[in-house]
Structure 1
């Protein structure tokens, strides 16, 4: 007998209406990618032409917020609303509920860009609504499907939500939101450690099995659990004391351990398939990012550059890798990367490396080049996948774990 007491959320692959609202990945991957391009273009305009952005937040804080709490949560929501139905066996959220959630996200982007007109308090209130809704919806679906082991994913989402609330609170009360920004970045990295550790070896194992390969990725074991736990500790120390010797040591250890974890997944064996190899390449920024944080803690690298290795190298590249694979898989396309897709990967990898290289080498133009490469990467995604996201309704291939 159905549970009539539990609030109902419209579900299912909507067969009528726009294809855009039939599955979570469609509006949020598209909206996130478009905003990635637009927000970076606005930031470059602010740097070059002094375009006022963010009102009391200021252009620099607006840029940081919109990358970590604007673009990235959209992609995260698209992933969760697409992956969780695969984990639980429940039908995906679609239709009016999906339109409502996307509208809340879009409203947040509008009020943050126009905070000078709306005022910071109203902007903070509207922007802060999205992540709690995503967390509640994801929690409800996991609980309804009784997939208790997947509840750990919600910890990362909660950290990002708390980071956004703290970010707004710090700005509104005259403080600096740096610690809250780091907490959110740590939450994303933790999700990559958990979910990436699930999908990367799984997809690799499936591909190698089809090729008849003998050696397979090492299965998830206590080593993985230990790496995740120690990495979470290192991230916590870095969040609270980013320039301390303890943070430098903990991040160095986490970097080495994550490098060892990556080697166990046999990434080089799948280098001929870019759509799969990019997941390994994106995860490679995890040990690189931890080592960058360690270098920053020892005064060898600017903290902002180390942060960009995580935010662009780990978070954005993993998101682009998942966006391309999931979009192709869930619209019935072949799970292989086109030349344009491969080029978008290369642009984002270069963007992630150009920012710290600008500090290390002092070369003029590298910082601006990083922003332009970012725009190119997500612009290519929109150009290639727009039709798939808006129109294509086909039987999905296995694209999500």
Structure 2
């Protein structure tokens, strides 16, 4: 079949359509932020009032699931549906296909929250459908663009999709799905290491060039490849045997390697611009996350605290950093952070650190504070960036995603 006769996905920016459906980052960043706030409110209300949230899944599993397989995939989808067209030189998926994809994600959120009414089998089927469909769409776009080198990014998406399917299978068989939750978290962390190693040196180099400063960040090389591979092995060991003390040395080495990798990108040189500095600070949670894994393996903190350093610290802070930068860049705004944006970053950093500190210091009130800070961070994002995502069209900037 010739290229001209292939069925094509409708795409591109349409002047007569709703701005929300013109680019993947718009509905998914906004939907992900709204869901981040709602899930935390529902979780706190469930703890306080005993709401039957999640039905037979149980409220704790629902909470864990919706952070890892509800909020995070939305932001990931928004990023990749925006980044892949930049990588391949194609136009973005938009219009009806984008609406259907967002609707599939939203159906999963409703089904999981109302599992007491729909039942676990229906909720599982609706929820588990999104990630494989999204993965197939990304794979198609990369193949059509001939960018085979970018397929490695989808390995993390595959791990997350596998984690989602494994979660539902474990629940259906009466088992415990924690290993699948950890597997998905590991997939996100690997994505942060891969994509972070791509965008942080690039964006930092561009900023330093514009401001006539040097030396430049070290470009991606074999050291980066080695760090990612060793870190992935350490994460695999943590997924399989999180409580084994033998994991601690591996995790500590991974922490040191990632700290050295981060230092090579010269984040301190861009401290004048928070929109760029935040990417470096978010990546700093990768070595902190491995340190938390080591502490948990030694019994110094709870396993759930180590998990929160990875989910809130590594995943959510990097996602918020990317959401703010990509939104500003792709709506033609200056690539500089406002005071409210900086406050949202600080709230999320504090939320990430509060949970393990609650264990180390014995202050349980920090757990409640962590939830409140999380909600405030994403509420600030919605308040400042919601209008940009919904209705404002400007020419995108090149250095944005």
Same fold (TM over 0.5): yes
Spell out, residue by residue over 1:51-110, the C-alpha distance to the aligned partner (whole angstroms, 9 max, x if none). 111001000000000000000000000000000000000000000000000000000000
C-alpha separation in 1, matches of 2:393 and 2:129: 31
Partner of 1:154: 154
1:125-274 equivalences under 5 Å are 125-274=125-274
CA drift of 1:246 comes to 2.8
C-alpha separation in 1, matches of 2:339 and 2:233: 39
CA drift of 1:237 comes to 0.7
CA drift of 1:4 comes to 5.2
C-alpha separation in 1, matches of 2:338 and 2:163: 36
C-alpha separation in 2, matches of 1:134 and 1:345: 28
Check the 8 A contact 1:347/1:373 in 2, yes or no: yes
Check the 8 A contact 1:86/1:400 in 2, yes or no: no
Partner of 1:315: 315
Matched, 1:60 2:65: no
Check the 8 A contact 1:171/1:177 in 2, yes or no: yes
C-alpha separation in 2, matches of 1:363 and 1:126: 39
CA drift of 1:236 comes to 0.6
Spell out, residue by residue over 1:268-307, the C-alpha distance to the aligned partner (whole angstroms, 9 max, x if none). 0001100000000000000000010011011111000000
C-alpha separation in 1, matches of 2:122 and 2:156: 26
Check the 8 A contact 1:267/1:277 in 2, yes or no: yes
C-alpha separation in 1, matches of 2:282 and 2:398: 20
Partner of 1:48: 48
CA drift of 1:5 comes to 5.5
Spell out, residue by residue over 1:109-143, the C-alpha distance to the aligned partner (whole angstroms, 9 max, x if none). 00000000000000000001100111011000100
C-alpha separation in 2, matches of 1:257 and 1:362: 30
Q: Secondary structure at the match of 1:63?
A: helix
CA drift of 1:258 comes to 0.1
Check the 8 A contact 1:199/1:400 in 2, yes or no: no
CA drift of 1:361 comes to 0.9
CA drift of 1:45 comes to 0.6
Partner of 1:385: 385
Change (3 A) 1:2 1:21: farther
C-alpha separation in 1, matches of 2:214 and 2:326: 27
Q: Secondary structure at the match of 1:245?
A: coil
Q: Secondary structure at the match of 1:388?
A: helix
Aligned length: 401
Q: Secondary structure at the match of 2:284?
A: helix
CA drift of 1:7 comes to 3.4
Change (3 A) 1:107 1:285: same
Unaligned runs of at least 5 residues, structure 1: none
Partner of 2:39: 39
CA drift of 1:22 comes to 0.2
Matched, 1:74 2:74: yes
Spell out, residue by residue over 1:328-365, the C-alpha distance to the aligned partner (whole angstroms, 9 max, x if none). 00001000000000000000000000011111111141
